[in-house]
Structure 1
Amino acid sequence: MARSGTAALSRLREAGCELTLPVLSSKPSGAALKALLLGMDGVIASVEKYDSAVFSDPDLAQLKLISRWGVGFDSIDIPAASDAGILVAYTPGFLNETVADYSFSLLCALARRVHTGHLELSQGRWIPSWGHNIHGKTLGIVGCGRIGQVMARRASGFGMRILATDPQPSTEARATGVQYVSFEELLEQSDFISIHAASTPETRGMFNEQALRRMKPSAYLINTSRGALVEEVALAKALREGLIAGAALDTFVIEPLPKDHPFADAPNLLLTPHQASFTKETGALVSDAAAQAVLDAMCGKAPRFLVDPMAVQSPRLRLSLKSN
């Protein structure tokens, strides 16, 4: 937020907020995270882990609000936060177009082997890469919510057949040509699979060895959602054995990615450092929305986008809300 949210930070300062902008070389956790939160009424959070140990710590009793910069909140123990009387806000809807753009760009790069051509040329070899057409191919979307539906529109414009699996099928998605099928059917029929599902107990590890073996040997996997949905060792093995044609990943179980990770020497793999939502325009919008949640709380208003809207009714609520 310090890079993309200059205007949002100015709004907070002008409203009287005292800001702390820690310079971090890694994702804080445990005692290091608690030390950063001492004396704080609120925090604009990234993907660091907020658990019951944070919310129950008496030294952090001043903490009233976590405003999540982004749409995912699997790093926050929401029931524990609500039980402690802490509100958790997030910023849904602002990333949809940007993440879909990035996901489709990865699909294009895989299909036309852009990364392979770049690597060959950077090493002094003029070896054009033979890729595959996109039009006429089948895209499988795992998790056809906000971002998944925008991804479907991108694919439709390229003349792709679109399959999807989601626990809550959308009438709007069907109207744009999306066909809902089972997860198994999607694996078997798709030429490209793009993951846009949230990380839940049901979805974590869903792309395991068994699932990867059901994919076409010519198929590609794209993940801009959450790293936990893919069993990374199984994927590295599948790439080495040629079970699938390739993969593009922007998110991982451990971030930053360790140097000795199984992906380090896996073939036909395109990796990027969790940057699917990183555009200057979207960064400014998300920063403004995250800051607005803080400003609302300062004024005694419940933020507009709460992960658990019922938390405002908790008798333990730490934030003093003004009556309407």
Structure 2
Amino acid sequence: MKAIRIVDTDNGTSADITDMEIADLSDGNVVIRSQYSSLNFKDALAITGKGKIARKRPLNAGIDVAGVVEESDDDRFAPGDEVVVTGWFLSETRDGGLAEYVRVPGDLVIKRPDGLSLWETMALGTAGFTAGMAIKRMEDNFQTPADGPVLVTGATGGVGMFAVDLLARRGYEVTAVSRKADAEGDFLKKLGATNVITPDALDLEGKPLGKPVYAGAIDSVGADLLANICAQIQPYGNVAAIGLAGGPKLSTTVMPFILRGVSLLGVHSVECPQAWREQIWAQLAGEHKPAHLQTIAAETVGLAEVFGVCDKIMAGENTGRTVVDINA
């Protein structure tokens, strides 16, 4: 079998297409013949060696996979079943989905949701699932479209694009935040954004509280931008934190939380409980299926093309989601 495998070298980590045996894959009781994977920022970090995503090596890359069960010792799955795995430490501590076969414990696997093809599950992948999980956390905490506009930062990233689409589809007024606002504003409005602004428009110059303009936010940046956002959220609004592109430190005050009742909600999709996972996938496959899935995931490549796409992702030159056809 072929796989994009991350290995240690004298010059750090490196990734290449490698031949290996199925028997050498990470332990598990379900073997999946991979059909599709996808490329996320974490995949680009791992494959280019610019981030220590793979915590043990050698290890196959790819945090997502969709395919067909080849073998199963788990009664819940039988050969021929179409299944999906996202997160669960694929490409971190377990061999990942950029390979012809994946072996995982059955507890990590869900059957392909009705309403989505295998390709569509990977067009969504971890990015779409994370956006869906962020919205679930907000709505579980009483967020509604009637509350007012919702910010989405990093709006041209994978999670951001899906967040704009999914929120607009639910009836929310969406303000997209991106440093590419001038170049990508029309694209973001096509996805459903009402307004498109740059991060500078949210700068409070260090003030602990600003005018409460927004009902909520989905943030992938963190750092000062997240602090400024929390200070501009309306009473009892929600901010879902899904990333740290701007850095991991958060310098803020408790004032938005104790004077306005703002909730800061963490979103950790890697270990999302399976009951939540199945509910979120069902929503993504049903009434809340993204309206612009084909527009967002406009590129499908083979294994050999993954390296060039990852270089573009790291250089900030890639817009939209990339699906990987394992058998192309």
TM-score over 0.5 for the alignment? no
The structure in which a higher percent of residues are helix is 1
Give the structure-1-normalised TM-score: 0.44
The structure in which a higher percent of residues are strand is 2
Bigger relative CO (Cα 8 Å, ≥ 6 apart): 1
**Which has more radius of gyration?**
1
